[in-house]
Every structure is written in C-alpha cells, then in structure tokens.
A and B are shown apart, each in its own frame.
Chain A
Amino acid sequence: DAKTTQPPSMDCAEGRAANLPCNHSTISGNEYVYWYRQIHSQGPQYIIHGLKNNETNEMASLIITEDRKSSTLILPHATLRDTAVYYCIVRTGANNLFFGTGTRLTVIP
C-alpha cells in the first residue's frame, strides 16, 4: 500500500475553511484516497474518498492533484465539532485500512 504523509497538527479559526494536506507520492493507479476522522476517542468516521476526480459531499471536498501524488481535504466552514484527528489513507478498497498518526485539527473559537 502507498504510504501517506500528513502534518501532525493544524489550527483553523471557526467559520473558516480547513485545508488538510496529504502526500501520497507512491500511490498506484487503482488506489483510492480515503479520509476518515476520529473525534475524541470515538470510532473513526468516514468522510470522503476519491480516485482521480475531485469529490464533494455534504461533509467535505477532496481535491486530488492531476499526478495523484497529493490531495487536500477541505472542510468549507469549520466548526468546533470538527476538532478531531483526520486520517488520509490510500487503499484499493475500504478494507484493512492502515491508519497512521493523522493530523490533529483544532478549530479555534
């Protein structure tokens, strides 16, 4: 599986967009980019995933570069409830997910 690199922590002002980067330079053609988050010590929560094209759902947007070597998760209007650890995972499917240490996002009032 391709490895991912994320910054250990980020801050974001409440109401502003949170942009969380992820590098995955060794990603292969059939691997998807998944994003999950873990709020406090709850079970991880799926956010979004994509292969090549940018994706958007009710929670977030996923921007994948044309060479697929990096991506950015965008939370358009961060709230205090978005404070969590965000994991970027590269996989062929939803199974056997490898969770690194992720990015701890703190939304500041």
Chain B
Amino acid sequence: NAGVTQTPKFQVLKTGQSMTLQCAQDMNHEYMSWYRQDPGMGLRLIHYSVGAGITDQGEVPNGYNVSRSTTEDFPLRLLSAAPSQTSVYFCASSYQEGWNTEAFFGQGTRLTVV
C-alpha cells in the first residue's frame, strides 16, 4: 500500500515550458486535490476532484489544468510555466467528500521555474 505517490520529486523548468505533475493513489479514494505551498505559508488549494470525470477549481487555479480519467490518477498540468509558479506542490486524497475522515498527502514536488 503506497498511499499517495507524486512524481517527480524535483523539477526545474524554463519559463514557457509545459509539464505534468503526476499523482497516484492506491486507496480507492474518490476525492483528490492539489495544493501549492510557497515559502513560509500554508497550503493553498489549486484544483480538486470528487470522482473520475469531475474536477473543479480551488483557491488558486490560474495557470493549471487538471483531469481525472481514473479513480487512481489526478495529474496537474502547467501549460506555460511562469516564475510565479515556483513552489512545492502537494497532492492529497481522501475517502469521500464531506466524510469525517483524514486526508492523505504525497511527499511533494519541488518545482523551480527560471
């Protein structure tokens, strides 16, 4: 049982490049989400999904796209990277929306845009 797995762990991009951050969970969780964390700050919600085929925007969605074709995977795409997107990105999953249960987080992807 691997939990929530994020790849890559580290990435350096040039401004304007695109890339996809991968997130996979093996707990059959319906709910998945992406957060970003800037230095000295708490996590902020980017996008989330309540199940396969359903996604919605969080607090800071601009510059990011998501899709949810399977229950297990929830990739985050940066279409044209900007220095402002330099951050640590965390993926999380939980059993079901609204249930009083815990969220599980991946170990993060550290992204630097130069």
Which residues of A line the B interface, CB within 8 A? 32, 34, 36, 41-46, 49, 51, 87, 92-102
The answer to whether B107 touches A51 (Cβ under 8 A) is no
Number of A-B contacts (CB under 8 A): 72
> Binding site of A, secondary structure by majority: helix, strand, loop or mixed?
loop
Q: Which residue of B lies closest to A87 (CB)?
A: B42
Is the pair A94, B105 in contact by a Cβ cutoff of 8 Å?
Answer: no
- CB A6 to nearest CB in B, in angstroms, measures 11
Instruction: Give the number of chain B interface residues (Cβ < 8 Å).
Output: 32
A94 touches which of B40, B41, B100 (Cβ 8 Å): B100
Q: Nearest Cβ distance between residue A88 and chain B, in whole angstroms? A: 11
Please state if B48 and A95 are interface contacts (CB–CB under 8 Å). yes
User: If A96-B33, A101-B41 touch, does A42 touch B103 (CB 8 Å cutoff)?
Assistant: no
B98 near A95 with CB under 8 A, answer yes
When A93-B99, A95-B48, A97-B103 are in contact, do A44 and B90 touch as well, CB less than 8 Å?
yes
* Interface flag for B88 (CB, 8 Å): yes
